[in-house]
Amino acid sequence: MTLELKNIVKAFKSDVVLDGVSLSVATGETLVLFGPSGAGKTVLLRLIAGVIDPDEGTIRIAGRDMAGVEPEDRGIGMAFQNFALFPHMDATENIAAPLTAKKMGKQQIAHTVEKVAKMLKIDHVLHHKPKELSNGQKQRTALARALSGEPDILLLDDPLRNVDAKLRFEMRLELPRLLKSQQATVIYVTQDYKEAMALGDRIAVMNGHGIQQIGTPRDIYMSPANLEIARLFGDPVINLLDVTPERSERGVQVMLSGQPLVIDAGFAHAIGQSCVLGIRPEALQFVPEGTPGAIPVQIETEAPLNEKTVTLALTKNRREVMISRPSGTEAPSSGTAWVIADVTNIHLFDRTSGDRIEPGQSAAVQGAA
């Protein structure tokens, strides 16, 4: 089922939470709503579920306007962040709730519950009441309840938020397979960028009343729409350095610790503008002394981070930069070292608005001329 939101506005009293949100999700797609708390992600889910009404705008499911359609008629499954299990019903009854609504036969219900419970590995606690379940089991029960009715649209409100780190890690690996097997259109809310990257076919980044950027995880990572998004995605955090692009004989350059770094000539329109240069830690590389364009840095400390190792260093102007490399590769671990930036993997943002500055096409045109 496709899901389409158009110009959704929602305010609580005078507090505007969503201001003109539009979004469309294709059948079978998993869209992650990512953003800090208070960005309106949960409100958006509730609007889609129909438990609250938008002030303005339309919600369409499979092309049909949902205005005035009750939550029970929308064909939706939802898992809540706080689980919202029915405290007076055992796990079986909880999971069976969408099935009893469909007036299914007793045997068929038992069979379906059994199947979903097995898939989520909670078949051994089906007769427990919610208060007898561990947090992880509660979370799986809530998920099972959302899935059991085989809804066309699945809304998952930060389902891993309230579970411990180990379980979160397991579920992050398990969920994509599970979601694919459902063939449902999924909207997944999270505050964890790794979860967003791991689960989303596309990610919608929400911040300040609306969606700031929407795209594939790769799009978001490779071309973040603004400074904020660049900072939110990526671990370790992107290096941000204040620069002012200037003209040079080879095109456009920025000065880093006194060394010119030639960037895409398409940035010509940004010459003289106060900018922030974003360089991902993995776009910095250690090079031998004397390499042209290399910047000297003072190494402070080094930390292995699973499959990569991150070095924290100080530039000549005593600004911190982080350099990331695959673990196991050699690199200086103290003293002065030289690094060079991969110019094809840099981002330029306007310093005042924070918006991304795209290289113009003029580069190619000029180059050809």
Q: Are strands 202-207 and 210-215 parallel, antiparallel or unpaired?
A: antiparallel
Please, what is the minimum distance in Å from the beta carbon of residue 160 to another protein?
A: 17
Taking the CA atoms of the chain, what radius of gyration do you get in angstroms?
Answer: 25
Cβ nearer to another protein, comparing 132 with 300: 132
Please, what is the minimum distance in Å from the beta carbon of residue 70 to another protein?
A: 6
Cβ nearer to another protein, comparing 76 with 283: 76
**Distance between CA atoms of residues 188 and 32, nearest Å:** 5
Please, what is the minimum distance in Å from the beta carbon of residue 37 to another protein?
A: 16
Cβ nearer to another protein, comparing 126 with 142: 142
**Distance between CA atoms of residues 205 and 219, nearest Å:** 12
Token code pair at residue 347: 């981002």
Cβ nearer to another protein, comparing 50 with 234: 50
Q: Can you give the three-state secondary structure of 84-138, one letter per residue? A: CCCCCCCHHHHHHHHHHHCCCCHHHHHHHHHHHHHHCCCHHHCCCCHHHCCHHHH
Cβ nearer to another protein, comparing 28 with 71: 71
What one-character DSSP code corresponds to residue 346? E
Please, what is the minimum distance in Å from the beta carbon of residue 176 to another protein?
A: 23
- Kindly give, in sequence order, each residue whose CB lies less than 8 Å from that of residue 297, ignoring residues fewer than 6 positions away: 257, 313, 314, 315, 316, 321, 323, 336, 337, 338, 339
Cβ nearer to another protein, comparing 57 with 215: 57
Query: Closest by alpha carbon to 25, among 48, 46, 51, 43?
Result: 48
Cβ nearer to another protein, comparing 70 with 330: 70
SS3 for 283? helix
**Distance between CA atoms of residues 117 and 137, nearest Å:** 10
**Distance between CA atoms of residues 158 and 148, nearest Å:** 19
Please, what is the minimum distance in Å from the beta carbon of residue 238 to another protein?
A: 36
Please, what is the minimum distance in Å from the beta carbon of residue 359 to another protein?
A: 46
Residue reference for tokens 């009715």:
149
Return residues touching another protein (CB under 8 A): 46, 49-51, 65, 67-78, 80, 82, 84-88, 97-98, 100-102, 145, 149
**Distance between CA atoms of residues 124 and 122, nearest Å:** 5
Residue reference for tokens 């079986």:
92
Amino acid at 264: D
Please, what is the minimum distance in Å from the beta carbon of residue 72 to another protein?
A: 5
Query: Closest by alpha carbon to 220, among 241, 193, 242?
Result: 193
Amino acid at 355: D
Please, what is the minimum distance in Å from the beta carbon of residue 51 to another protein?
A: 4
Cβ nearer to another protein, comparing 76 with 299: 76
Please, what is the minimum distance in Å from the beta carbon of residue 126 to another protein?
A: 17
Q: Identify whether the C-beta of residue 255 lies closer than 8 Å to the C-beta of residue 268.
A: no
Please, what is the minimum distance in Å from the beta carbon of residue 119 to another protein?
A: 18
Residue reference for tokens 């110009």:
7
